[in-house]
Structure 1
Amino acid sequence: MTLDKLRPYVSRFLDPFVKGFDRIGMTPDGVSLLAFGMAVLAAFAFLLGGRADPVWFVAAATLVFLNGWLDIIDGALAREQQVASAGGDLLDHVIDRYADIVIIGGLAAGVGDYFLGFLAVTGVVMTSYLGTQAQAVGLDRVYGGLVGRADRLAIIGLVGFLAYPLSGEYGGLTLIGWLLVFLAVVGHLTALQRFYYAWVALD
């Protein structure tokens, strides 16, 4: 049930962007770094949204969606330029994990709840780890589970947009606080799902 499965179907919408980046001489690694820059800016915007003015949540949400869009484009650009490689794949995954950590760090700093941030970021990192660890023990890389990265970015972006008009507290937490709870619970459940899949497949 993850949006990652839809990547092949959006390829035709990528062409203008891929060709545009190729025309100006951008490399896939350059696009990956640009995506990371969007994540860093999103983190700062979430921080400002929680501590200064909720209107910053709108900017943060937009930047999160840009991060996700660029994360799709870098792979398509690598295929267009015929430079896809194991090294590029490694760099992309490392940058994605740092982007996840930075964004969640910004969410946690904005609401001042670092314990929830810790639970959320460990859930996200363990989800990714279990996906690649399956590959390390001889299985295919696992992308399934309750929430993949594309789903996660979509949900963070959507909640970011809603957090501006709905900036109050609900059950003792703001929408951003509840988002951290969601990321923590679903992240660890997804990690356990992937572990179970790999464990059964190895039997």
Structure 2
Amino acid sequence: MVPLLARVRQSYERITLPLGRVCMRLGLTADMLTYLSLALSLVASYLIAQSYFWWGIGGILLVGLADVLDGATARAAHTASVYGTVLDHVTDRYAEFFILTGVMLAGVVHSIWVVFALFGMVMASYVRARAEATGQISSCNVGFAGRQEKLALLIAGLFLQPLLPQMAILEWAVILVGVASHLTAMQRLLYTRRLLRKLGSTEHA
């Protein structure tokens, strides 16, 4: 099962290509936008830690925009590279850490649930990276939820928390992110095992 937002990747890449050309004309490179995304995640983390949740949502959306633009710029300028992909994934993990740390520092979510969610997000990414590193699996972007779906859950929690503080909605959103992440990690592990077994049986046929 491919994450919902990953299914529209081809259309999204086609639509965002003109934005990449604009960035290219402005002298922006994909790596510059990747670092900008990381810096914006620090800003979002600070805003969330100060309980400015709606401003924090704006910060997260800007992180997402910069993340979209770096890929679009790389495609438009034909500068996509293996290192660029690695850098993008690494900064994504740091951004997740910063944002969830901000949630923890805001004091409305118990730290154990933040750790639970963070560990799940890291493991889902780690399983995918290790599976694709075998060289036998071109893409392991499968599972219940990808990064975008999990950020959408966090945004929903941040939006509703000030409106319904007595319901601890942000904490429930973080818990759901953790559950979705761990489920995705297990799904990717099972997918990898199934595919590698299939490839092994084909090779020995």
Aligned to 2:19: 17
- One-letter identity of the residue aligned with 1:147: A
Instruction: Give the secondary-structure state (helix, strand or coil) at the position aligned to 2:50.
Output: helix
Q: Does 1:179 align with 2:173?
A: yes
Q: Which amino acid aligns with 1:185?
A: V
Residue matched to 1:64: 60
The answer on whether the counterparts of 1:61 and 1:160 sit within 8 Å (CA) in structure 2 is: yes
Aligned partner letter, 2:149: D
SS in 2 for 1:123: helix
Distance in 1, matches of 2:9 and 2:155, equals 18
- Of all paired residues, the percent bearing the same amino acid is 31
The CA deviation at 1:4 is 2.2
Gapped regions of structure 1 (runs ≥ 5): 50-55
Highest RCO, 1 vs 2 (Cα 8 Å, sep ≥ 6):
1
Q: Aligned letter for 1:150?
A: Q
Partner of 1:124: 121
CA-to-aligned-CA distance 1:31-63 (integer Å, 9 cap, x gap): 0111111211111111111xxxxxx11111121
* Runs of 5+ unmatched residues, structure 2: 198-205
Provide the aligned C-alpha RMSD in A.
1.5
Assess if the C-alpha contact under 8 Å between 2:38 and 2:91 holds in 1.
yes
Q: Is the 8 A contact 2:109 2:171 kept in 1?
A: no
CA distance in 1, matches of 2:43, 2:26: 23
Structure-2 separation of matches of 1:12 and 1:61: 26
1:108 and 1:180 in contact (8 A); partners too: no
Partner Cα separation in structure 1 for residue 10 and residue 152 of structure 2: 17
Equivalents in 2 of 1:16, 1:197: separation in Å?
35
The offset of 1:11, in angstroms, is 3.1
Alignment TM-score, normalising by the size of structure 2:
0.88
In the alignment of these two chains, the number of paired residues is: 193
